[in-house]
Amino acid sequence: MTTATSRTGSGNGTGTDPGPAGEASGRALAVREFERLARARLDPAHYDYFAGGAGDEVTLRANEAAFGRLALLPRVLRGAAGPDLGVTLLGRRAATPVLVAPTAFHRLAHPDGERATARAAAAAGTIMIVSMAATVAVEDVAAAAPDAELWFQLYAQSDAAFTEAVVRRAEAAGCSALVVTADSPARGRRERELRRGFTDLPDGLRCENLRDGGRVRPIEMWPGLSWEHLAFLRRITALPIVLKGVLHPDDARRALGHGVAALLVSNHGGRQLDSVPATIDALPEIAAAVDGAVPVLLDGGIRRGTDVLKALALGADAVAVGRPVIWGLAADGERGVARVLGLLRDEVEQALTLCGCASVRDLDPGMVRRTC
Ligand SMILES: Cc1cc2nc3c(=O)[nH]c(=O)nc-3n(C[C@H](O)[C@H](O)[C@H](O)COP(=O)(O)O)c2cc1C
Ligand SMILES: CC(C)CC(=O)C(=O)O
């Protein structure tokens, strides 16, 4: 158990005085600046937990680098005024195509943790996918942000009764979809964590969704998870199921046969199997396999509005951001997350305008070129 404590407990609170960190985050002009602000405030072991990837971090780097190899080809003279950024996903409207990906342990980044993230997501009019490994219970996240549209991310556990109990909690808290993570039959080997000896949460922080009576269960990354368990989840809940962590087009096709409501193309931010492709490179084949049958989402490496446009043009219906939200949270709590989501929103709006698009639906694969 690591005894390192976060240095984020002071100076980046949620009061009215932004303080030095608040001022710096208010001045930040780009998502990547938030990573620098967050790094300066976080315990180094915690920064490395959030930032790191598996193995040589080839996939971690590839996620961002692959966007850099794609160019946008704008259209001109379309008279497209005031782009509409809204998207409809699983029957719900989101004001922007940028969702909050599920990430664990938000209270390591800021004392308000997932409560702050949910409030910022609600203010941005977007969907927050609450991690099963959240450090605030899903009921308390929902209570902190009654207007937030929440989806719940599930690591199905080998104990079916416990898995079902967690699903019931998510339903009762008002979550409107279940995001089942499929890329984690084991935990990726993350050498930054091993070097830092980061093996557990500091005293006082727990995975609150894993409470079971008087104890908190350890989270299980379960190699036994199979398509049959997806069928089990469909039997026990009416919530739409989003399958997260799909990279192979055959799996995408198979998921359609299992009644998934949406797919999330993800490599877990490069934290699971290293050397898998960048998600933006995997997207076109998956989009072709799905062929519009269900919405396709993507996460991994999105740092700019132009990255969002490239993903939407190549077949995603929406994207999600993981680390950018953590950096905003660590830098300045709810305000920092709001600023990160706001910057991305404004960048998407400007890029759509500059591409001659009246809405995200005007993007198509012909507007993206590979440059090398
Ligand atoms: C610190 C951290 C914790 C994460 N925790 C979870 C998790 O609990 N469940 C999950 O399905 N994915 C988790 N992920 C993966 C994210 O949902 C997402 O796939 C990834 O962060 C996207 O890449 P990005 O960080 O480049 O945006 C985590 C990622 C990070 C960086
Ligand atoms: C607690 C972990 C299992 C959360 C996770 O998915 C991650 O760190 O990538």
Residue with tokens 């960190």: 21
Just list the catalytic residues: 268
- Contact in structure between 287 and 297 (CB atoms under 8 Å): no
- Contact in structure between 153 and 132 (CB atoms under 8 Å): yes
Nearest Cα to Cα of residue 12 among 26, 31, 32: 26
Sort 185 into a burial class: Cβ within 10 Å, 0-12 / 13-18 / 19+. Answer: middle
Q: Could you tell me the distance, in angstroms and rounded to a whole number, from the CA of residue 357 to the centre of ligand 2?
A: 37
Q: What is the pLDDT of residue 308?
A: 98
17 pLDDT tier (thresholds 50, 70, 90): low
Mean pLDDT of the 115-129 span:
98
> Which ligand lies nearest to the CA atom of residue 298 in the structure?
1
Measured from the Cβ of residue 43, the count of other Cβ atoms closer than 10 Å reads 18
Q: Could you tell me the distance, in angstroms and rounded to a whole number, from the CA of residue 187 to the centre of ligand 2?
A: 8
Q: CB within 6 Å of ligand 1 — which residues?
A: 50, 63, 101-104, 131, 133, 153, 181, 244, 266, 268-269, 271, 299-302, 321-323
- Contact in structure between 257 and 191 (CB atoms under 8 Å): no
Sort 223 into a burial class: Cβ within 10 Å, 0-12 / 13-18 / 19+. Answer: exposed
Q: Could you tell me the distance, in angstroms and rounded to a whole number, from the CA of residue 8 to the centre of ligand 1?
A: 20
Nearest Cα to Cα of residue 299 among 273, 270, 274: 270
- How far apart are the C-alpha atoms of 156 and 154, rounded to whole Å? 6
CATH of domain 19-358: 3.20.20.70
Which of 100, 221, 271 to probe ligand 1 with, by most ligand atoms within 8 A of CB? Answer: 271
* Minimal-distance CA residue to ligand 2 atom 9: 271
State whether the beta carbon of 190 lies less than 6 angstroms from ligand 2. no
Helix (H) or strand (E) holding 36: helix 31-41
What share of the chain in percent tops pLDDT 90? 91
ipTM above 0.90, yes or no: yes
State whether the beta carbon of 271 lies less than 6 angstroms from ligand 2. yes
Q: Could you tell me the distance, in angstroms and rounded to a whole number, from the CA of residue 67 to the centre of ligand 1?
A: 18
- Tens digit of pLDDT for each residue in 142-154? 999 999 999 999 9
Sequence ranges of the domains in the chain = 19-358
- Tens digit of pLDDT for each residue in 205-243? 999 999 999 899 999 999 999 999 999 999 999 999 999
Cβ neighbors of 80 (< 8 A, separation 6 or more) are: 353, 356, 357, 358, 362
